[in-house]
Amino acid sequence: MKRILLTLAALAFVASSLLAVAASAADDSVAGKCMTCHKEKTLGLYKQWYKSEHAKHNVTCIQCHGADKGDADAFMHEGALIATLVTPKDCGTCHHKQSEEVGQSYHAHAGEILQSKDAYLAHAAGGAPVAIAGCESCHGGKVEIDPNSPNMLARLSWPNSGIGRINPDGSKGSCTSCHARHAFSVKQARQPESCGKCHLGPDHPQKEIYEESKHGNAYFSQVDEMNLSSDRWIVGQDYFEAPTCATCHMSATANQPITHDVGNRISWTLRPPVSKTKDNWEVKRRNMQDVCLACHGQGFVDGHYAQLDGIVNLYNEKFAKPGLALYKKAKEKKLGEGQANFSNKYEWIWWEIWHHEGRRARHGAAMMGPDYTWWHGIYEVAQHFYFKYIPELRKLHDPDIDTMIDELLKDPYHAWLNRPTADIKADIQSGKMAEMYKDMYMVGTK
């Protein structure tokens, strides 16, 4: 009986092996057809793949683009069932850990904020074409199947490589946002330019801030020494000339592995009108400080974070909280001639104070960009707060709003407006003015 069982087991093993060989041979046959055709039709695409790590490890077209029967985006093409769209779920077949980390990251959820005021403004003041070609190109949109051609992706949702793209298979994100197809180069993903498609501009100019910082200066002047193509890429060991975006937010240190969860080292939420520390922020701050300590001493790192906390709290306490309270009161009382959001000038001014200028100041401090911290940041926050926002609110002639403004301007933070310049200078020179802000350097807010 045992011999029979062994024989059956052996036959099963042989059968499964033969099936695997047959499947592999079938894949090779399909891949051969793919490469032969695309080498002629889209030579650039073929060459990108040919030089890639995928090609070196015999990962061909069908392994990534092969579809299962019943997949929403599957269609027959040259005798094979394929999908144009390759999603994190597909990549996760081989890159399981990375796919999981992406799925729980802020990147994967970027498409969800398109129901926020960001997208509302694009649709209302602009129109659907700009929301699709603008907002969704970075944040990602919902990729849909063309209702008139069930095997085709809808043209208004594809092409889309937005970082939080919502895919037909239910997965979120797009690996090709960072690992551009079809080379999927790790060297490219490690460079700050890879992040620059989305992280730039008036409301989140991380690219520009990095370029003006000492980190960016060191990178661009020594990029040839960064070992960007190395398999192992540990800061302080395999390279030490400068950090890139990937270094700080994703790449390995001597104590941490690579992570595709880009929020794993960020302690402040700098996006909303009023910044808050993140859940589990102490651990996340230690994670980021571990990166810093590969090149800097603890005193340097502590000083940077004290100054970052000071700027965030300054913005929060002096401008964001009172500004938001005034905005909420005006909206609660339905003040202004327009009915819709953004139909009144004071709404636009407040939006730009926090969404543009306030973010620039906070990101500038986080990434050591002094010009963005002050001239593009708090300087413009202050100018527009005092000489655009408050005057526009005064035009509403509402007693509650006027009382709130009167009380605000009595606050020591704002009382300088009605004091002689000589007295203010004396307070600055004596240190009295700085004393007023001493509590700003504590983590968190009042």
Full 3-state SS string of the chain: CHHHHHHHHHHHHHHHHHHHHHHHHHHHHHHHHHHHHHHHHCHHHHHHHHCCHHHHCCCCHHHHHECCCCCCCEEEECCEEEECCCCHHHHCCCCHHHHHHHHCCCHHHHHHHHHCHHHHHHHHHHCHHHHHHHHHHHHCCECCECCCCCCCECCCCCCCCCCCCECCCCCECCHHHCCCCCCCCHHHHHCHHHCCCCCCCCCCCHHHHHHHCHHHHHHHHHHHHCCCCCCCCCECCCECCCCCHHHHHCCCCCCCCCCCCCCCCCCEECCCCCCEECCCHHHHHHHHHHHHCCCCCHHHHHHHHHHHHHHHHHHHHHHHHHHHHHHHHHHHCCCCCCCCCCCCHHHHHHHHHHHHHHHHHHHHHHCCCHHHHHHHHHHHHHHHHHHHHHHHHHCCCCHHHHHHHHHHHHCCCCHHHHCCHHHHHHHHHHCHHHHCCHHHHCCCCC
Q: How many CA atoms lie within 13 A of 389 on its CB side?
A: 25
Query: 78, 85 in Cβ contact below 8 A?
Result: no
Tell me the pLDDT tens digit for each residue of 85-104.
999 999 999 999 999 999 99
Give percent above pLDDT 90 in the chain.
86
Residue 20 confidence (pLDDT) above 50: no
Which of the four pLDDT bands, split at 50, 70 and 90, describes residue 10? very low
Strand partners, 239: 235
Residue-level pLDDT at 243:
98
Return d(Cα 391, Cα 246) in angstroms, integer: 43
| Whole-number Cα distances in Å, 16 to 6, 23, 59 | 15, 10, 22
> What residue spans define the domains of the chain?
299-441
Which of 111-115, 216-220, 270-274 shows the lowest per-residue confidence on average (mean pLDDT)? 111-115
Residue 161 confidence (pLDDT) above 70: yes
Written as six digits, the tokens of 419 are 């004091």
Return d(Cα 146, Cα 155) in angstroms, integer: 7
Which of 6-10, 210-214, 437-441 shows the lowest per-residue confidence on average (mean pLDDT)? 6-10
Return d(Cα 315, Cα 328) in angstroms, integer: 18
Which of the four pLDDT bands, split at 50, 70 and 90, describes residue 113? confident
| Whole-number Cα distances in Å, 108 to 117, 138, 446 | 19, 11, 32
Q: Which residue has the higher pLDDT, 286 or 116?
A: 286
Tell me the pLDDT tens digit for each residue of 293-340.
999 999 999 999 999 999 999 999 999 999 999 999 999 999 999 999
Tell me the pLDDT tens digit for each residue of 386-443.
999 999 999 999 999 999 999 999 999 999 999 999 999 999 999 999 999 999 998 8
Averaged over 17-26, what is the pLDDT? 44
For the chain, the average pLDDT equals: 91
